[in-house]
Structure 1
Amino acid sequence: MTSTSRAHPIIFIHGLWIHSSAWQPWLELFEHNGYRASAPGWPGDSPSVQETRANPDAMNDIGIADIVDHYARLIDPAAPQPIVIGHSFGGLIGQELLAAGHAAAAVAIDSAAIKGAKALPFAQLKSAFPVLSNPANRHRAVALTAKQFRYAFGNTLTDEESDALHANWSIPGAGRPLFEEAGANFSRHSAATVDTHVADRGPLLLTSGTEDHVVPLKVTQQVFDLYAKGPADTDFHVFDGRGHSLTIDNGWRDVADVALDWLDSKRF
């Protein structure tokens, strides 16, 4: 079976606390493999890490719906639908775009939880504590210290590698999406709602690192179980021993190769 995936452009979507420029090695790899690829930032992001750090107020009150709408507007309806590859909250955005018919396929790498996933492991709560501990953070962007980053992202890395990733790629993250995710199961019209039963959509790959603190394996397993009750094509891949830094750390290529191989196995 010959894959048709290369007829579709790739859109990479970052998650909280990581700038879109961290996708550069992925852009180069996917373009080398015949894809047209881009990594546009969230609304409020500046073109560089330093500029974004200097202007965090541009992300004040940016929520999940704003981010979804932002990427939906970037998609050319006259062109082939894109494949969306997202990490963390980028994975949630990718799932929403796929369910709404804006994308041909999606890869959600250690994705933020959708409404319906009810597990709240301690590691997840501790990772989100720098934001959720202060209700005022709902309306502003919050940066992680190097120590907080090591717990949330770099727990499987050396302190030196984690600190280098923090220095190179970390940016303040909009607080509102975390509050929306945390209250998703208590909100009738949650912005984190995804129709997991829609039949007429392209394939979806969910992944999880077994040591992820931000989105623990148990959470992603619950999300996969929600999709498993529906008729559409949904796959699940586990990265043993990997944490939330898996798209930017020294093992990023292993994750990218899984995404490439999965896309090669699909026709859409």
Structure 2
Amino acid sequence: MATNRTPVVFIHGLWLHASSWRPWMELFASQGFEPVAPGWPGEAPTVEEARRQPEAVAGFGIDDVTDHYADIIRGFDREPVIVGHSFGGLITQKLLGMGLGRAGVAIDPAQIKGVKPLPFAQLRSGFPVLGSPGNKKKAVSLTAKQFRYGFGNAISQDESDQLFEKWTIPSPGRPLFEAAFANFAKNSPAAVNTGNATRGPLLLVSGQEDHTVPDVVTRAAYKLYGDSTAVTDLKQFADRGHSLTIDGGWPAVADYTLGWLARQGVQTRTELAG
């Protein structure tokens, strides 16, 4: 018998580098999974390089990113678990709706088509991009103050500033425009096949103090899955903001994710006859 670990694909969202998943990858590896965290199309391998090359990611949209990760997932010989944060959570839902992935976890996921609530906090968080139509074709960076409001509002100023310096990179503005206007577009790239009854189980996670993706937005997405018989669960974390995957409280979210995967029968290893 040959033992093979179950892959886990981590997908980050806007303004964070793929390496921000490193603590999660170390934890999942210690639990028997085989984790990977590929960057978005054009993303440099390090935070420092990504900051020096903002033009490399400019112009990529939701479909481009989805196709990028779909190709990666199709390259595995076993179905991986998909874990995404923010826009990575939207991409996770799209991939799972396409029938890709053993299971999916969407943490503070960007709004999909059909979600109607648009709280003021979300509008303010998106204003650095949405405030200028020209940003649709550009890569945009956040300031430390903007990061504090959108990501670090539920943690201390010092921790927010440290996370900003450690993990933030420029990101394409196009996905934010596509999601913001999804309900006005017939064929929006932010559309998800929420009715797919044969997909793997999905966990939606919400930080109830999140400004970038307020809890009401995640709850509205959860309701869109009501017609599907596939497993769809919702977990809310009180007093947590958009930084919940990278701040000091990340282990609680990761541990819950691991427990949920175990309850869905997702094994860390696949036994193959040899």
TM-score calculated relative to the size of structure 2: 0.94
Code of the aligned partner of 1:111: P
Alpha-carbon offset, residue 76 of structure 1: 3.6
Name the aligned partner's letter for residue 237 of structure 2.
F
Partners of 2:172 and 2:135 in 1: CA distance: 8
Return the alpha-carbon distance in structure 2 between the equivalents of residues 146 and 197 of structure 1. 39
State the aligned residue count.
263
Q: Secondary structure at the match of 1:256?
A: helix
**Map of 1:235 onto structure 2:** 233
For 2:122, the equivalent position in structure 1 comes to 124
Q: Distance in 2 between matches of 1:190 and 1:77?
A: 27
Match of 1:204, as an amino acid? L
User: Match of 1:3?
Assistant: none
Q: Which runs of 5+ in 2 are unaligned?
A: 267-274
The answer as to whether partners of 2:105 and 2:204 remain within 8 angstroms in 1 is yes
CA contact (8 A) 1:11 1:38 kept: yes
Aligned to 2:101: 103
- Deviation string for 1:61-80 (max 9, x for gaps)? 10000000001111245611
1:194 & 1:100 partners in 2: Cα distance?
8
Amino acid at match of 1:82: P
What CA distance in whole angstroms lies between the structure 2 residues aligned with 1:75 and 1:150? 33
Change (3 A) 1:218 1:51: same
- The match for 1:169 among 167, 170, 179 is 167
1:237 is paired with a residue whose SS is strand
TM superposition shift of 1:257 = 0.4
Q: Which residue of 2 aligns with 1:201?
A: 199
Q: Which moved more, 1:224-233 or 1:166-175?
A: 224-233
Secondary structure of the corresponding residue to residue 104 of structure 2: strand
% identical equivalent positions: 55
How does the TM-score come out when normalised to structure 1? Answer: 0.96
Q: Give the stretch that moved more between structures: 123-132 or 222-231.
A: 222-231
Deviation, 1:241, is: 0.5
In the alignment, the residues of structure 2 paired with residue 207 and residue 176 of structure 1 have an alpha-carbon distance, to the nearest angstrom, of: 24
Contact kept? 1:7, 1:80, Cα under 8 Å: no
Q: After the TM superposition, list the runs of 4 or more consecutive aligned residues in structure 1 that deviate by more than 6 angstroms.
A: none
Residue in 1 that maps onto 2:178: 180
SS in 2 for 1:86: strand
